[in-house]
Structure 1
Amino acid sequence: MTTATETTGVFKVYIRATPEAIWNAITDPEWSVKYGYGGYVSYDLKPGGAYAVRPDEQMLAAGKEMGFPIPDVIVDGEVIEANPYTLLKQSWRMIMDETTFSEGFTTLTYEIEQLSAGYCSLTLIHECPAHPATLRMVSGLNEAPPDQGGGGWPWVLSDLKSLLETGSRM
Structure 2
Amino acid sequence: MTDQPSYVYVSYVESTPEAVWDALTDADLTAVYWGHGNVSDWAPGSRWAHVRTDGSGIADVVGTVVTADRPTLLVTTWAPPGDEENRPSRVTFAVRPHGDIVRLTVTHEDLRDAADRAAAARGWPAVLSNLKSLIETGTPLPQDPWLVPPD
TM over 0.5: yes
- Which position in structure 1 is the counterpart of 2:47? 50
After superposition, residues 26-65 of structure 1 pair within 5 angstroms as 26-36=24-34, 38-57=35-54
Q: Percent identity?
A: 31
- Which position in structure 1 is the counterpart of 2:94? 111
1:79-104 Cα shifts (integer Å, max 9, x gaps): 11110010000101244xxxx99x75
- Which position in structure 1 is the counterpart of 2:119? 137
The question of whether the paired residues in 2 share the 8 Å contact of 1:44 and 1:79 is answered with no
What is the alpha-carbon root mean square deviation over aligned residues? 2.5
Q: 1:154 aligns with which of 108, 121, 125?
A: 125
Equivalent position SS for 2:116:
helix
Residue identity matched to 2:40: Y
Q: How many residues align?
A: 139
Residue identity matched to 1:55: R
1:126 aligns with 2:116: no
The question of whether the paired residues in 2 share the 8 Å contact of 1:53 and 1:76 is answered with yes
**Which structure 1 segments of 5+ residues have no match?**
61-69, 141-151
The question of whether the paired residues in 2 share the 8 Å contact of 1:128 and 1:135 is answered with no
The question of whether the paired residues in 1 share the 8 Å contact of 2:5 and 2:110 is answered with yes
The question of whether the paired residues in 2 share the 8 Å contact of 1:19 and 1:86 is answered with yes
- Which position in structure 2 is the counterpart of 1:93? 79
| TM-score computed with the length of structure 1 as normaliser | 0.74
Of the structure 1 ranges 121-130 and 13-22, higher mean CA displacement relative to structure 2 is found in 121-130
Residue identity matched to 2:126: W
Equivalent position SS for 1:121:
strand
- Which position in structure 2 is the counterpart of 1:164? 135
Change (3 A) 1:131 1:161: same
Residue identity matched to 1:20: E
Q: Note the C-alpha offset of 1:168.
A: 1.4
Of the structure 1 ranges 75-84 and 121-130, higher mean CA displacement relative to structure 2 is found in 121-130
Q: Note the C-alpha offset of 1:71.
A: 7.2
Mapped to 1, the partners of 2:94 and 2:124 lie a distance apart of: 14
